[in-house]
Amino acid sequence: MTRAEFEKLVSSALRKLPRPFREKMANIAVVVEDWADAETLREMGIEPPDTLYGLYRGVDLTHRDAFYGNVLPDTIHIYQGPIEEDCQDQEEMADLVRDVVSHEVGHYFGLDDDTMEDIEEGS
């Protein structure tokens, strides 16, 4: 899949987020990259063959105070390589991209992995 085609999947996933969430997102950039670099994997405690599909970097909304401002945008990194490698077709890839984008946006709103897992399981 070309980068442009993959970026369309990411854009579509962002558009499909519920409106109340989309409207509250500000000062955040979504970046598509090939793979997470070795330093990022080491920082996250991930050793090959494991890898990342996505990563949120920034100060989530629950940790911002009145002095938060004049900062570079937070970033959501979506890694095309591992997503492509783990999917059988474009439909599966679109589903995984949607899940990864939603997960990383959850971090932007201050949700941790355990909370998101509970939500996904319906707990």
Tell me if residue 43 falls in helix, strand or coil.
Answer: helix
61-101 confidence digits (pLDDT tens): 888 888 888 889 999 999 999 999 999 999 999 999 999 99
Helices (H), 27-79: 38-43
Q: Is the peptide bond before 49 cis (omega within 30 degrees of 0)?
A: yes
Mean pLDDT for the stretch of residues 2-8 = 97
Q: How far apart are CA 62 and CA 111, in angstroms?
A: 9
Q: How far apart are CA 113 and CA 110, in angstroms?
A: 10
List the 28-33 sheet strands across, edge first.
28-33, 74-79, 54-57
DSSP annotation of 73 reads P
**What's the chain's average pLDDT?**
91
Between 27-31, 42-46, 64-68, the lowest mean confidence (pLDDT) is in 64-68
CATH number of the domain located at residue range(s) 3-121 in this protein = 3.30.2010.20
| Contact yes or no for 74/108 (Cβ under 8 A) | yes
Predicted confidence (pLDDT) at residue 5 exceeds the cutoff of 90:
yes
Question: Full-prediction pTM beyond 0.75?
Answer: yes
Which among 60, 63, 44 is positioned nearest to 52, based on CA atoms?
A: 44
